[in-house]
Structure 1
Amino acid sequence: MNEAIILAGGMGTRLKSAVPDLPKCMAPVNGKPFIAYVIVHLQQQGIEKFVFSLGYKHEYFIDFLQKNLSAGNYTIVTEQEPLGTGGAIELACSVVQSENVLVTNGDTLYKMQYSSFKQFHLNKKAACSLCLKPMEYFDRYGSVTMNGNNEIIAFHEKKITTKGLINGGVYLLNVSQFLSNHFPEKFSFEKDYLEQKTGSGKLFGHVQDAYFIDIGIPDDYVKAQIELS
């Protein structure tokens, strides 16, 4: 379990005012692409192999990856047209070599501790485990509800919330169980997979109160320049 899929194919529409000509994950933060911080954190957690799911302006990643990762340590899969988050993960899973794979977004840095997350996932025999971030006074993210066994039983729409758990966008996925579903070519991982699996006994949440930043909007992109200095 030392392999990760990094989703980096999004257009980053909300960030275009700050970074008009680059894919969102390649937005510079203190002189290096944001995705570099994601990769380094995962390497520090024991991840050795990467699958990069690319799409929009994928050519911008090539030189960076060639200079920063050994050729045998990463694979690139490229969407010829947008497949949605679910379609992108399904395509990436077709080249994954491990039974369980970490999945994360290339525009979000969540400094979770992988060893405890991995053990949780295996203990639960989960089809998919989510790393959940405790947060206060938020309206940008939806919240997640679990039962006493850490099984996820509900996802809630975005609204003003004083205290709750958000989906941190970091998953551990049992590859064969995921691929055994009959998905359309284009689908949403969140809507068409996660929300459909609530209450199935296969979807679990692991809470970690670790550093989290999502550079999807200009204000948080500016914040990243300060916090990741």
Structure 2
Amino acid sequence: MRALLLAAGFGSRLRPLTDFTPKCLVPVKGQPLLGIWLERLTQAGIGPFMINTHYLAEQVDSFIESSPYRERVELVNETILRGTAGTLIANLPFFHGRDGMLIHADNYCLADLAGFLRAHANRPAECLITMMTFRTENPSACGIVELDDRGVVVGFHEKVANPPGNLANGAVYILTAELLEKMNTEWRTAQDFSTEVLNRLVGRIYSYETAELFLDVGTPESYAKAND
């Protein structure tokens, strides 16, 4: 299974740490986030990879070039950011018409990725996406999902004051070939995956909840927790 890792962001909330380091390369316990992703994905039998870059792109280029994964990574620099859906749509040929992964690479994720793949293989037939979810201690700061008794998403609550639960969208997805084809036809002009795609697929997204550590390292507090 091929994976597109989104790694082009500025990491504004992590400044000054990201003033001179792209967010995807901030170290967790001495290892850059992007390196953790590539190592764990490879161990689960996933790859090859595509990584989009923008902010401090030359540092990401240098990291990949000196990494053990350089032969399995294709780097795509965006001089103007396309948005999460825009990047996916621009690079649909990368998936060769098969199911593939879309990953926000600025999360620290220790989930069982092989288990995630198995969940996708056994999803309800109508589901076009399998979404990784996790329990958060701060639900009002996350996108909270509601599920039916089969684990299918029936509602989204994006950063609201009192969401109905604490099960959050981890922004790590397995997309079916059918969904990727829809991106190429019905949703060709979409830019943001969360607001322009996911909301249209309520009732057709399967949830895989990880019990392992999952953290958005977007703030100094969560970054410190990841390194604790």
**Residue 221 (structure 1) aligned with residue 223 (structure 2):** yes
Question: What's the counterpart of residue 146 of structure 2?
Answer: 145
Query: What is the TM-score of this pair, normalised by structure 1?
Result: 0.87
Q: Residue deviations 1:101-136, cap 9 Å, x none? A: 122111102222222222222222431110111234
Q: How many matched pairs?
A: 223
Task: Quote the RMSD (CA, aligned, Å).
Answer: 2.1
1:70 to 1:211, Cα distance in 2 relative to 1, 3 A: closer
Question: What's the counterpart of residue 201 of structure 2?
Answer: 197
Query: How many angstroms apart in 2 are the aligned matches of 1:79 and 1:16?
Result: 22
Q: Residue deviations 1:58-82, cap 9 Å, x none? A: 2111111011134431111222311
The equivalences for 1:168-207 within 5 A come to 168-181=170-183, 182-185=186-189, 187-199=191-203, 202-207=204-209
Query: How many angstroms apart in 2 are the aligned matches of 1:186 and 1:13?
Result: 24
Query: What is the TM-score of this pair, normalised by structure 2?
Result: 0.87
Question: What's the counterpart of residue 19 of structure 1?
Answer: 18
**Residue 101 (structure 1) aligned with residue 100 (structure 2):** yes
Deviation at 1:179, TM superposition (A): 3.3
Query: How many angstroms apart in 1 are the aligned matches of 2:76 and 2:114?
Result: 27
- Structure 1 segments unaligned to the other structure (5+ residues): none
Q: More strand per residue: 1 or 2? A: 1
Deviation at 1:211, TM superposition (A): 0.8
1:214 to 1:135, Cα distance in 2 relative to 1, 3 A: closer
Question: What's the counterpart of residue 127 of structure 1?
Answer: 128
Q: Is the 8 A contact 1:100 1:173 kept in 2?
A: yes
Question: What's the counterpart of residue 83 of structure 1?
Answer: 82
Query: How many angstroms apart in 2 are the aligned matches of 1:176 and 1:208?
Result: 25
What is the identity, as a one-letter code, of the residue corresponding to 1:138?
Answer: P
1:192 to 1:112, Cα distance in 2 relative to 1, 3 A: same
Secondary structure at the aligned position of 1:95 is classed as helix
- Structure 2 segments unaligned to the other structure (5+ residues): none
1:12 to 1:122, Cα distance in 2 relative to 1, 3 A: same
Q: Is the 8 A contact 1:5 1:102 kept in 2?
A: yes
Query: How many angstroms apart in 2 are the aligned matches of 1:55 and 1:91?
Result: 15
Identity %: 25
Query: How many angstroms apart in 2 are the aligned matches of 1:153 and 1:162?
Result: 12
Q: Is the 8 A contact 2:6 2:51 kept in 1?
A: yes
Q: Is the 8 A contact 2:89 2:188 kept in 1?
A: no
Query: How many angstroms apart in 2 are the aligned matches of 1:60 and 1:179?
Result: 33
**Residue 165 (structure 1) aligned with residue 167 (structure 2):** yes
Query: How many angstroms apart in 2 are the aligned matches of 1:145 and 1:174?
Result: 21
Q: Residue deviations 1:2-53, cap 9 Å, x none? A: x221110111111123321222112233444222122222222222311112
